[in-house]
Amino acid sequence: MSPIRVRRLGPADVAALRVLNALFAEAFGDRETYAAEPPSDAWLAGLLGREHIVVLVAEQDREIVGGLVAYVFDKIERMRREIYIYDLAVAEAHRRRGAATALIAHLRGIAAARGAWVVFVQADHGDDPAIALYRGLGNQEEVLHFDIPVGPARA
């Protein structure tokens, strides 16, 4: 078995992004979000060309075994950036072999090059493997997360 290789996807990697979305659907048990209404190739290529959207895949023996999607936020209070890991998953058969750690390590290098001061991520209560991974890499904060529905603007 070859070592895990991490690479950033670009506009020419739409097929790889579709494989990653299928992996996310399986790993998160959420086919409705990740597979029900796939975007067009042009939409995905456009996203993969944006500097503030980082899509990484972990490959082993030419197979995508994991990946992450992160977003770069430019801050207004200081000349710095933050990077938020929105999605991170590894295929079940490839877990606990260093893929997630390799993905985050690669992202940390991108963060340093982009002038980010922190990479942050959320984990759900009960997702013990993710919590253990993140505790091993950084400091835990207790926060509340709220989903606010979209509606018409108020005057």
Confidence category of residue 140, pLDDT binned at 50, 70, 90: low
pLDDT at 85: 92
Using CA atoms of 72, 73, 74, 79 in order, give the dihedral in degrees to the nearest 10. Answer: -80
The yes-or-no verdict on residue 44 having pLDDT over 80 is: yes
pLDDT at 142: 73
Q: Which residues of 84-93 are buried (b: 16+ CB within 10 A; e: fewer)?
A: ebebbbbbee
At position 143, the amino acid (one-letter code) is: V
Q: What domains sit in the chain, N to C, each tagged with a CATH number? A: 5-137 (3.40.630.30)
